[in-house]
Amino acid sequence: MDISGASAIVTGGASGIGAAVVRQLAAKGAKVVVADLNAEKGEALAKDVGGVFVSVDVTKTDQNEKAVAAAIELGPLRYLVNSAGIGWAQRTIGRDGEYSSAFDLDSFRKVIDINLIGSFDMLRLAATKMSLNEADEDGQKGAIVNMASVAAFDGQIGQAAYSASKGGIVGLTLPVARDLSAAGIRVNTVAPGLIDTPIYGEGPESEAFKAKLGESVLFPKRLGSGDELASMVMELLGNPYMNAQTVRVDGGIRMPPK
């Protein structure tokens, strides 16, 4: 498929890995919908790359539909990258034997709702419209990349909700790829390791903390960059023989229990 002139949706596209993907897609000539809740950053990025910003809470189907509609107005929708997500850390039980100190169930549901169900909702909506595209010489009509995490495999203490949500992303990769093969749509997943994103903050203390985290990476001993993750996303979007795969991009790290 020719990226130039096609449209793409990137959820969580206003910052971090999502923003890096937006920039690399735009550099290849795609018209990108930045789907995010952060209007200030999202609008600025969309303006910078010649795309559009759509305010999207991925747990709201009507807002996901608006993002798809906006993409179709820009050009044939051929690409979706699901990068929106949240983290949460809490031990399964507390130390006092009380139900009230166990993992907050509403928080568990929220993480699953955003990271897993929200990603699948956007996927099913975008794929529905991708299926109407004209196929290329390989029969391709679209390509989708979902964002998991090494926590899907190496979940740490307190990561029950986050790991479950990302494990769900990994688990749906093959069956959804099988579902969509008849429509000429490929589905792959990226599982990032420790990535330098705004979640770690800024300043000397933040840099020292990130350097300490980087020591646990096999090689190179540092956090990965958003651009390094985005380059793998671009490969999965662009390589017509990559399908139904989950690719770890993690410097070889295997996360310890804590």
Give the pLDDT of residue 131. 98
Does residue 59 have a pLDDT over 80? yes
Q: Which amino acid is at 131?
A: S
Give the pLDDT of residue 112. 98
Cβ atoms within 10 Å, residue 201: 10
Give the pLDDT of residue 108. 98
DSSP reduced 3-state for 34: strand
Contacts of 2 (CB under 8 A, 6+ apart): 136
Q: Which residue has the tokens 């290329």?
A: 136
Contact predicate 213/223, CB 8 Å: yes
Active site residues: 162
Q: What does DSSP assign to residue 224?
A: B
Cα-based torsion angle of the residue sequence 93, 98, 100, 104 in order, rounded to the nearest 10 degrees:
10
Q: Which residue has the tokens 């990535």?
A: 195
* CA separation for the pair 179, 177 (Å, rounded): 5
Nearest to 225 by CA among 8, 84, 19: 19
* CA separation for the pair 35, 125 (Å, rounded): 14
Give the pLDDT of residue 202. 81
Q: Which residue has the tokens 């399964």?
A: 92
* CA separation for the pair 226, 195 (Å, rounded): 7
Give the pLDDT of residue 127. 98
Give the pLDDT of residue 1. 86
Q: What is the share, in percent, of the chain residues with pLDDT greater than 70?
A: 100
Cβ atoms within 10 Å, residue 38: 16
> For residue 132, what pLDDT band results from cuts at 50, 70 and 90?
very high
Q: Which amino acid is at 210?
A: K
Mean residue pLDDT across the chain:
96
pLDDT digits (tens, 9 = 90+) for 136-184: 999 999 999 999 999 999 999 999 999 999 999 999 999 999 999 999 9
pLDDT digits (tens, 9 = 90+) for 179-230: 999 999 999 999 999 999 877 778 888 899 889 999 999 999 999 999 999 9
* CA separation for the pair 21, 251 (Å, rounded): 19
Question: Kind of pairing, strands 52-55 and 31-36?
Answer: parallel
pTM recorded for the entire structure:
0.96
CATH code of the domain made up of 7-249: 3.40.50.720
Nearest to 255 by CA among 160, 169, 151, 147: 151
Task: Indicate the domain borders of the chain.
Answer: 7-249
Question: Kind of pairing, strands 185-192 and 246-249?
Answer: parallel
